[in-house]
């Protein structure tokens, strides 16, 4: 089944990586996708420790593959609160995609889930809708995954967003989440097991093809 993801990735100019919540593996999968495609990584809104630093450390790619965040707030909290604490505001109209014409793929990583507040009026899903990139939903193979993934999927569909595929991070072969999501959602689901070490350049192809 892995060849399906290779075809999806090769036929697109970019993806918006969102998740069912915080710490489900968005940054990790973004790094895998970046290493695999040698594309351009962009996280427009960041709170707390910089994910761009983590992606650089994992991929070992040079600065040419990274576009700096437009908003970076010190506190690791919801963007609307982090901005408020610094007496700033997030203006969604001023957030635009970087020039990625020199790269194979643009990888945009969101902050938190689709309804993470950017202000009292705007949410991460509004930025997803504005960018109009195919969406990759990252979720973790744990209890609660079915509810969180289905809610995220439904919210994106209702906003008219195109969903490319779903990533089931820390996949457990003995679990039931993969089977149930396959039966309920008609979208490809990439099984991403836990790896002790970040995959090599050749290894990322095996990850995408589900062959390692």
**Mind listing the pLDDT tens digit for each residue in 23-37?**
999 999 999 999 999
The Cα–Cα gap between 34 and 135 comes to 15
pLDDT bracket for residue 72 (50, 70, 90): very high
**Mind listing the pLDDT tens digit for each residue in 94-145?**
999 999 999 989 999 999 999 999 999 999 999 999 999 999 999 999 999 9
Q: ∠56-62-63 over CA atoms, to 5°?
A: 85
Point out the residues that are catalytic: 43
**CB of 190 closer than 8 Å to CB of 34:** no
Q: State pTM to two decimals.
A: 0.96
For strands 14-19 and 106-113, give the pairing: parallel
The Cα–Cα gap between 15 and 52 comes to 16
Q: Which two tokens stand for residue 125?
A: 């899903």
């Amino acid at each position: 089944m892995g060849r399906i993801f290779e075809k999806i990735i090769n036929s697109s100019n970019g993806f918006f990586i969102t998740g069912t919540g915080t710490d489900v593996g968005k940054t990790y999968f973004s790094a895998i996708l970046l290493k695999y495609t040698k594309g351009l990584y962009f996280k427009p809104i960041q709170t707390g420790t910089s994910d761009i630093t983590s992606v650089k450390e994992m991929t070992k790619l040079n600065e040419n593959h990274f576009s700096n965040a437009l908003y970076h707030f010190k506190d690791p909290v919801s963007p609307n609160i982090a901005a408020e604490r610094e007496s700033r505001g997030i203006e969604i109209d001023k957030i635009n995609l970087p020039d990625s014409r020199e790269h194979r793929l643009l990888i945009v990583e969101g902050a938190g889930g689709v309804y993470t507040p950017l202000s009292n009026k705007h949410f991460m899903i509004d930025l997803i809708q504005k960018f109009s990139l195919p969406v990759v939903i990252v979720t973790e193979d744990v209890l609660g995954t079915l509810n969180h993934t289905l809610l995220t999927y439904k919210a994106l569909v209702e906003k008219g967003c195109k969903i490319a595929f779903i990533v089931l991070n820390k996949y457990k072969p003995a679990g039931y989440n993969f089977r149930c999501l396959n039966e309920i959602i008609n979208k490809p689901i990439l099984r991403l097991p836990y790896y002790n070490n970040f995959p090599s350049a050749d290894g990322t192809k095996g990850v995408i093809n589900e062959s390692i």
